[in-house]
Structure 1
């Protein structure tokens, strides 16, 4: 599994901050648009549970990235062109979540965009630090911090409790969670554009080439 030692602290920090702040931005836009009613539920007694969730999501996010972006994308990219590795790992990622509560066409779209985003991070950086920590931070912010559903799994809020306002699916993603919202998909598309621009600018690699 490609976890390179070089600059790993920087990659972990950048990945975690990008994941957390990206979701925070999406959430704020949704709240300002009238998608959620929020309530502070934080008490000091929640701190140990919050830390456990932080560790748990680091393990969960890293495990999913090792399977999808590490093994599947890596192995297929060695034998075929890199974009096939991205496509097949994305299909597997979606199928792994297809039984989650509230899954919908919009939810599948959100999973697809998120998978492409993390696949490109894995491709351009050559390891799993950025995509794993971004994934972990996104889920941690989504559930325990802001109290929204994480891929259909709700009831994790420890800092805020967020109640979605009916008839605002473009802002809330309905039962599946914000990742199925139009706001989330648009923000992630913007991130993908930035990743491709920076990746192509600072690397000679191309997603249309076969991996070495």
Structure 2
């Protein structure tokens, strides 16, 4: 019941906000404003539901230090995508055909902010955190990462490989980022930085949703095995490799900080049955 009390209200905000933001995508300024408003409202609703259902302060979204944590996450996300796209370009799978659209990139800030915040609240703030309490960090990371990947099967141009790639490079890595820091601001920053770098900077497809008008007019070509095809660079082996490396790094940090919740005995019995 605690999971539902938190999941349903945040999901309603995510769905309604996504519909509204999608409806005004022709206006970059409105997209920016409504996207940011959706993100802020989602955090407020999440915090209120946690206070109500768990009788505690929602320290994972505390305002103090939020900006610095988001910026750190954004740098990681942008750096990770830049590393992926540079490797793809090195083998001739990506090129820049001129400048893109500054207003388009501005609108994408709002769109990506709404998506990154609501997805992190749902998958890491609610699902991962509550499942982790029952099963331990590693099982929660695997289960919620898989769910995150499978949720992308509903996207245009999605296939099983794309979902598996998302599960590994994003679902697992973002959960590891939360485990290492115990704040949602870092995974939110990583998620936003990755998505905005893909669409808002390099102009590539994002999870099968088609290329957007970012700062650069990017063109991908060549084997889908290299570029990720119509699903985008997230389905590239490079993205999976870099995502795995970050997952290992975050989990090493989580273990060093004592943030890894061990497998519960009850969970072991259940799995054995």
The verdict on a shared fold, with TM-score over 0.5 as the criterion, is yes
Deviations 1:92-123 (A, max 9, x none): 21232112122233312221111000001111
Aligned counterpart for 1:50 among listed residues 91, 99, 105: 105
Tell me by how many angstroms 1:55 deviates: 2.1
Closer, same or farther: CA 58–17 of 1 in aligned 2, 3 Å: same
User: Quick check: 1:72–1:88 contact (8 Å CA) kept in 2?
Assistant: no
| TM-score where L is the length of structure 1 | 0.88
1:28-177 matches, cutoff 5 A = 28-42=86-100, 46-113=101-168, 114-166=170-222, 168-177=223-232
Distance (whole Å) between structure 2 residues aligned to residue 193 and residue 81 of structure 1: 17
User: Quick check: 2:150–2:164 contact (8 Å CA) kept in 1?
Assistant: no
Closer, same or farther: CA 101–172 of 1 in aligned 2, 3 Å: same
Structure 1: unaligned runs, 5 residues or longer: none
Deviations 1:71-91 (A, max 9, x none): 111122223323332233223
Distance (whole Å) between structure 1 residues aligned to residue 210 and residue 236 of structure 2: 16
User: Quick check: 1:110–1:179 contact (8 Å CA) kept in 2?
Assistant: yes
Question: Computing the radius of gyration over CA atoms, which structure comes out larger, 1 or 2?
Answer: 2
Greater share of helix residues, 1 or 2?
A: 2
Q: How many residues align?
A: 205
Distance (whole Å) between structure 1 residues aligned to residue 179 and residue 249 of structure 2: 14
Tell me by how many angstroms 1:155 deviates: 2.9
CA RMSD of the aligned region, Å?
1.8
| 3-state SS of paired residue (1:98) | helix
Q: Per chain length, whose mean CA-contact separation is higher, i.e. which structure has more relative contact order (CA < 8 Å, sep 6+)?
A: 1
Aligned counterpart for 1:183 among listed residues 223, 235, 238: 238
| 3-state SS of paired residue (1:93) | helix
- 2:199 is aligned with 1:199: no
| TM-score where L is the length of structure 2 | 0.70
